[in-house]
């Protein structure tokens, strides 16, 4: 697989793929005789995993640590597990924070909705003939 195909299948840009290789997040790819990168499909599994780590907010520094342990191979499993466990804990904490923030957002949004409802009630309670207060933003599409 050439880099172009990997771009299609991984969702990363060629720039990013080369950058990741440069910093050691992706293993140095084999080259064909004109020194173009030639990938094995298995790289997609690793890229997908890196994507999870990224999505969950792991900094590249730490992914590099994990990648290095992985390259080292046997004997690094415990450290890799610990690294992931630590990360998992951080993610759990963060998810809890996000859920707390969502509740606050809900109540904030609820407050605006109530305010709008009060305005609307007042509006419909106006005498016939001039229902919309000045500055009312009603898009009325169509």
Partner DNA sequence: CTACAGGTTCGAGCGCACTCTAAGTCAATA
Partner DNA sequence: TATTGACTTAGAGTGCGCTCGAACCTGTAG
112 scored as a contact of DNA (CB under 7 A)? no
Task: Tell me how far CA of residue 11 lies from CA of 15, 25, 58, 114, in angstroms.
Answer: 12, 16, 19, 42
Residue 98 binding: pick among DNA, a copy of itself, none (C-beta 5-8 Å cut-off by kind): a copy of itself
23/126 with CB nearer DNA: 23
Which pair of tokens denotes residue 17?
A: 């793929």
For residues 138 and 30, what is the distance between their CA atoms, to the nearest angstrom?
Answer: 60
From 42, 45, 55, 61, residue interacting with DNA (rule: CB under 7 A): 61
16/76 with CB nearer DNA: 16
Q: Note whether 46 and 52 are within 8 A (CB).
A: no
From 11, 52, 59, 126, residue interacting with DNA (rule: CB under 7 A): 59
Which chain residues interact with a copy of itself by CB under 8 A? Answer: 49, 52, 55-56, 75, 77-81, 84-85, 87-88, 91-92, 94-95, 97-99, 101-102, 104-106, 108-109, 112-113, 115-116, 135, 137
Q: How many CB atoms lie within 10 A of CB 43?
A: 18
Q: Note whether 21 and 28 are within 8 A (CB).
A: yes
Q: How far is the CB of 32 from DNA (least distance, A)?
A: 7
Note the residues at the interface with DNA (CB under 7 A).
2-5, 7, 13-16, 18-19, 29, 31, 33-37, 54, 59-61
């Amino acid at each position: 697989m050439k880099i172009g195909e990997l771009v299609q299948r991984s969702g990363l840009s060629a720039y990013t793929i080369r950058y990741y290789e440069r910093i050691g997040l992706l293993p140095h790819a084999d080259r064909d005789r004109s020194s173009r990168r030639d990938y094995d499909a298995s790289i997609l599994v690793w890229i997908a995993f890196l994507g999870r780590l990224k999505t969950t907010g792991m900094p590249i520094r730490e992914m590099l640590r994990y990648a290095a342990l992985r390259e080292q191979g046997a004997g690094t499993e415990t450290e890799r597990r610990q690294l992931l466990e630590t990360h998992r804990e951080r993610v759990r904490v963060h998810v809890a924070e996000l859920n707390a923030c969502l509740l606050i957002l809900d109540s904030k949004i609820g407050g605006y909705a109530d305010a709008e409802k009060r305005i609307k009630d007042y509006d419909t309670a106006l005498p016939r003939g001039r229902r919309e207060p000045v500055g009312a933003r009603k898009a009325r599409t169509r």
